[in-house]
Amino acid sequence: MQPDAPPIDAHDLTVAYDARPVLRSASFTLKQGQMLSVVGPNGAGKSTLLKAMLGLITPDYGTVRFFGKPIDAVRPRIAYVPQIEAVDWDFPITVAEVVLMGRYANHRGLAGWFKRPGAQDRRLATAALDRVGMTAFATRHIRQLSGGQQRRVFLARALCQGADLLLLDEPFAGVDTKTEATLFALINEMSTQGKTVLIVNHDLQILSKFDQVLMLNQRVVAYGPPDRVVTDDNLAATYGGRLTLLEEADQRLAERRNERAHLARTAEH
């Protein structure tokens, strides 16, 4: 590893599906220990960016280096948590087994594919489950968990792997505010311990908590510290009219909640 090589150094990543560009010349560099939020509307290319970086799809153009090297040279140092919708929840596997899978990245090689997890691997898996508060669910089937619990398990798998770089695709999607805060606290703790974290995120209210924000709409609209790049102009360029629609929808929901609360108080009297 190059001593000062950044965990992520992406240049001009471009991806097209059926000759239709979905990601255009995306470039950014992320330093060790930083937390990055990637935001943008649906169809902006956020998940495509992650998959192109990881080699899950082949970019039409561009390069990416992790710690100064191609991904295959450092893959055990990278943990990827996909969207919950991308996971096969019918696969017969327990919570503990999911977490233990994190150790397989450290056993790759000629004999690694056939090496069974050892006692140390199991101790690390147990410790990771304890850290995310899921020890009591170790023998449960993964599909028996709530969405927030499932996300905790996949964070535990990343912890068990011992990865230096975490790529998380919408870890807060579909969870309540309390669960989001708990998950974010776990992720932030990893960052303070030197892990580098990239999160695809839809919650614009928490952007100030990140070191860097990448605003994406098929191209990089803006990249940098949140206090510099999260501006009205950049939000408009990223989301267009869709941001206004989302704000109006949130306002209507808040008004309905207030109306229900008022009716409930009136009924009590």
Hey, where are the domains in the chain? 8-230, 241-269
Give all strands of the β-sheet with 8-17 in edge-to-edge order. 20-30, 8-17, 61-65
| Level-2 CATH architecture, domain 8-230 | 3-Layer(aba) Sandwich (3.40)
Tokens read off for 262 = 């008022």
Distance CA 203, CA 180 (A): 10
Distance CA 13, CA 93 (A): 35
Residue with tokens 């919408």: 170
C-alpha count within 13 angstroms, C-beta hemisphere, residue 219: 5
Per-residue pLDDT of the chain (269 residues; tens, 9 = 90+): 445 799 999 999 999 988 888 999 999 999 999 999 999 998 899 999 999 999 999 999 999 999 999 999 999 899 998 887 666 666 778 999 889 888 876 655 434 444 667 788 889 899 989 988 889 999 999 888 888 888 888 888 988 888 999 999 988 887 788 888 888 888 898 899 899 999 999 889 899 999 999 999 999 999 999 999 999 899 999 998 555 444 544 555 555 556 666 566 666 65
CB atoms within 10 A of CB 100: 22
